Structure 1
């Protein structure tokens, strides 16, 4: 019985999401960095260019896109710190990159960026989920 439980533990460990390899992680981080730096300069066209086609369809121009980021992703738009965490391979030609953010008011957040590779091999941001740190108020 003990050997069976050990085997199950080993299999469950290896069946979880894999860490992204160094090249994939570096490419994902480069795209996110390019977008975040563009947001910091209010460079809407460059920030918009990092978004996947599906995001660009929802926001058909750079001004609408940056307006949405200002309103719905304020911790990404303006922050005190932005530190990359773990990158995970989704197994679907994509990656999820975790980022620890402290917003302009000192509130801690985690951003989970999802990215996918276009047909031409270019990585683009397909989404971002913000999670406020436990114990912080609105």
Structure 2
């Protein structure tokens, strides 16, 4: 192996290790969230999206954390805010779920999770919605917020 080949090999190996190093915190965070919690978190977000699509404000509001429920007071106010500020989550034509991630630094008694979902709206635009969920009493997950940003890809795949 020539000197140039060795340098190229070392660069490729170090590059691979660097990428692996960047991904490890994501994988480690996901690993600490049990499979049952991963499924439960996704189910809550899917259920809320289904409630929005059905126009069921009361059911959509039921997935909100106590602090969100207190902030809006009732389902109709909550639904009006979502329809006005986040229309892309009301009736997306497609949704792609990413692996839920446990927030770093959260303690077992107050676990917070991020569930990212790529959505396609009715005009074909892509959005990334990151739902913030909190574990409530009785091991129930509730949504405590959502951050939506415009996507930059052309497809969900």
Separation in 2, partners of 1:11, 1:76: 33
1:45 aligns with 2:47: no
Number of aligned pairs? 130
Report which of the two has the higher share of helix. 2
For 1:12-63, what per-residue CA distance to the aligned partner results, in whole angstroms no more than 9, with x for missing partners? 7655561133211100011111111111111111100000011111110000
Shift of 1:87: 1.1
Unpaired runs of at least 5, structure 1: none
Picking from 123, 127, 135, the partner of 1:117 is 135
1:102 aligns with: 120
Query: What pairs up with 1:14-93 in 2 under 5 angstroms?
Result: 14-15=24-25, 18-19=29-30, 20-91=33-104, 92=106, 93=111
1:97–1:135 CA distance, 2 compared to 1 (3 A)? closer
Structure-1 separation of matches of 2:64 and 2:90: 14
In the TM superposition, what is the alpha-carbon distance from 1:100 to its structure 2 partner? 0.7
Judging changes above 3 Å, is the alpha-carbon distance between structure 1 residues 130 and 11 closer, same or farther for their aligned structure 2 residues? closer
Would you say the 8 A contact 2:41–2:141 is kept in 1? Answer: yes
TM-score by length of 1: 0.84
CA radius of gyration, larger in: 2
The structure richer in strand per residue is 1
Q: CA RMSD in A?
A: 2.3
- In the superposition, the TM-score normalised over structure 2's length comes to 0.74
